[in-house]
Chains A and B, each alone.
Chain A
Amino acid sequence: MATELSLVPPAPPEGLDTALFVHDQRASRSDLRRQIAAMELELGHLFSSAFPRLGFDFGVAGMSGPRVLTVDELERVRDSLAAKIREVKGHLQEHLHIEEGKRALIGEMMADPTAYKWVRVANKDIGEPGCKHWHSRPRWGPIGMLLGWWRVKISSGCPLAEGLRPPDAHQTPETKAPSPDYRR
């Protein structure tokens, strides 16, 4: 007669001071939390590196907390973070490749502006903050166009902020300077 095979281990015999092994998942959770911490830091580095480039998504969905997550849930958080890091790195790599090309283009424009008529490269195209741009334009407008005098003009930066000045917090009605009367 064939005996039925079972994957469940039998209870240990009495008197041998043995016990069934109970798996404690706390160590696994602790290990996963450590991995999540390292990945969060890496994502933070990528966040800083990506600035001022736009179009990056750093979001990783939560698990409807606050509560103690199970091993499965922590694994899902870790895997989502790993996938996000891969995605952001890939995206950043693409940006860097394009920016490298734009930097080379600036060099070529500076060397031969006539070959790059009206081409304009902005700071954001090379992954830099600010409003500076390089623009291949004719010297003296239409005259330069007709005579083929081209040059790369570099802008001086961002326009100054405009609008009314904010009120001075320390100014009292007595110390306030009289407003100029433009009707005089």
Chain B
Amino acid sequence: MTELPEEWEVAPETGWIEPTLAEEFPGLTIATSTIESQIGKSSPELRERLRSLSDSFTGAKAIAMREKPIPWAYRVFYRHIGLDPDTIRTPIEQLVFERIHDGGFATQGRVGDALTIATVESGVATSAFNADIVTGSVGLRLSDEGEGMTGRTASLPAGTIVIADEQRVIGVLFGDTAEDCVVPFRRKGTGRVMVAAIGVRGVPDIALEEAVWVAMSALRA
């Protein structure tokens, strides 16, 4: 059996959670991993993988998805934090909706496709950030009074659950990403990409690790 190169090992780093949030929502976690990757168009292998994933995802699976443990856990968490999962869909449900609506998972560049594959295969919510902009470790906290986010004209309502690095807000949980932290999906070349997986109560840690691992391996492909 061929040994995997050392850099292949993906060790997701567990992010910090503000104590108030951790007490209110036990099980809320964030795992991140950073990689130097191509960020332009998807490779033919990745597009093929996306196609076969589309073929294996049927309407019957979509209907029964709400009862599956991981998608249900995200729906419940959405309710707990004041989001309506039928209006702002959970990441897996949004992808399934697009799959059923468009007849397949549309390619969104290498990074977008890697996230799609990771989310569909594991059910875990994943997102990507421009790692060159992120400072220090990443975690989840509540926004302060008058705190803003790049690309957003108005400040965030105080107490919004946000993804933040050690200096500032880089995204709203299950919402927009700060403008300068968005990975340019359509640009050619390479860039440092940070993949983040958000776990909630009911989502096992192994699923979170799997999501990060799948996204990283897809980015390497």
Contact = CB atoms under 8 A, between A and B. Distances in A.
Interface of A: 26, 29, 33, 36-37, 40-41, 43-45, 47-48, 51, 58-69, 73-74, 77, 81, 169
Given A48-B63, A48-B67, A67 B142 contact: yes
Given A48-B64, A48-B66, A81-B79, A67 B157 contact: yes
Interface residues of B, number: 32
B162 to A, nearest CB: 8
Interface string B76-101: 10111111101110000000000000
Contact of A41 (B20, B67, B86): B67
A83 B45 CA distance: 48
Nearest to A73: B82
Contacts, number: 88
A83 B80 CA distance: 17
Nearest to B86: A59
B76 A69 contact: no
B188 interface: no
B76 A40 contact: yes
Contacts of A68: 20-21, 24, 81, 142, 159, 161
B63 to A, nearest CB: 5
B51 A169 contact: yes
A114 to B, nearest CB: 39
Nearest to B157: A67
B79 A44 contact: no
